[in-house]
Structure 1
């Protein structure tokens, strides 16, 4: 089926193009796919022991769904674009909330055990300043996935299929292309932006070619 899909895309490339993560059609696609997604029961070691998580670029709460499979009491704050926040707020509970500002998400949590971000930092206007803002909420740990790393900072225009955005399979609809800017981030600059934190893990991310994953832990000051 995947082979047929790839061939079909090559032969019949969509003509319609939408731009950016604020586009209502893209937001609705991600929202509906997240609502309908049924995660597997596999464990997620990263969130074991975490009581509060700030999920930067967490869409409509996909990662919260995954975390709840093993921790029903976890509190989760998603930081997203204003358009996604407006659409996803109907899913909010006393343990899941959506914000468009990092500091507001941190204030709601009261304290941040983990900052989690999967394939999002490269789509903000200034990735390094955003990293610094996330570090400023003083989480115990930061975990990054699918970060495009290069020798230097550079920007490019990336194109994806609308149906490929969000988890799982999309319902049948007219396919479109989505275009947005992506930043390749200098490894040295990315690590250096984590002032007050030490790098504990770094490796190639197996889920997306050319990207890396990182973990940082907050420095503990001696009394």
Structure 2
């Protein structure tokens, strides 16, 4: 973010607030920014991977990165009903959007990787969702930007509309976005991965106070 933009946000904060991830304006912003985004780097995580269930994958941002080095990779995004409805026009025989985890897993068949970046903290029951994802029995799970706390707690988080989605802003008028976020107990999060073992765990460098994990099927 430029210095001028930071100063403008501090002196002239937006007055309009939109609520939650189902908001049509937020969905449209993420959708359009994803279409316009052109990744320019490889992604070692997906090397040799054939199928990915991307939990909270928006309009397919991560697929755009993955297909640079794996053109034939099959990618199933699980998202909110509003995002699925908007992004379905981007679907192909290798990229599809689903509202439910079981639907995505059925389409993929065998799941090599479950990927989730900054999403699990926004679902109503994070631990039950983790258990459902593990029941798919992927070879590996990769989690990024997981807010970890000594115990589970909730807070209201606020972001700028233009900060949602990849790349530069498309918004002509800045707004605030407000939604609930859950901090997750580390012990409970790890225990929810029954049948899996931790292979990596460290602070996530992209968001303060969050952790990144990788699990492998036992």
Instruction: Return the TM-score normalized by structure 2.
Output: 0.99
Query: Corresponding residue for 1:26?
Result: 26
Query: Corresponding residue for 2:148?
Result: 149
Kindly tell me the number of residue pairs found equivalent between the two proteins.
218
Q: How far 1:171 sits from its partner (Å)? A: 2.0
Query: Corresponding residue for 1:179?
Result: 178
Q: Indicate the RMSD between aligned Cα atoms, in angstroms.
A: 0.7
Query: Corresponding residue for 1:11?
Result: 11
Is 1:125 aligned to residue 124 of structure 2?
yes
How far apart, CA to CA, are the structure 2 residues paired with 1:147 and 1:182?
A: 11
Can you give the 5+ residue segments of structure 1 that lack an aligned partner in the other structure? none
Query: Corresponding residue for 1:98?
Result: 97
Q: How far 1:172 sits from its partner (Å)? A: 4.3
Q: Secondary structure at the match of 1:122?
A: helix
Q: How far 1:128 sits from its partner (Å)? A: 0.3
Runs of 4 or more, structure 1, over 6 Å off, are none
How far apart, CA to CA, are the structure 2 residues paired with 1:79 and 1:212?
A: 21
Instruction: Return the TM-score normalized by structure 1.
Output: 0.97
The 5-angstrom pairing of residues 68-79 of structure 1 reads 68-79=67-78
Query: Corresponding residue for 1:136?
Result: 135
Q: Secondary structure at the match of 1:149?
A: strand
After superposition, the C-alpha distances for 1:95-136 in whole angstroms (9 at most, x for unaligned) are 000001000000000110000000000000010000000000
Q: Is the 8 A contact 2:29 2:171 kept in 1?
A: no
Q: Secondary structure at the match of 1:207?
A: coil
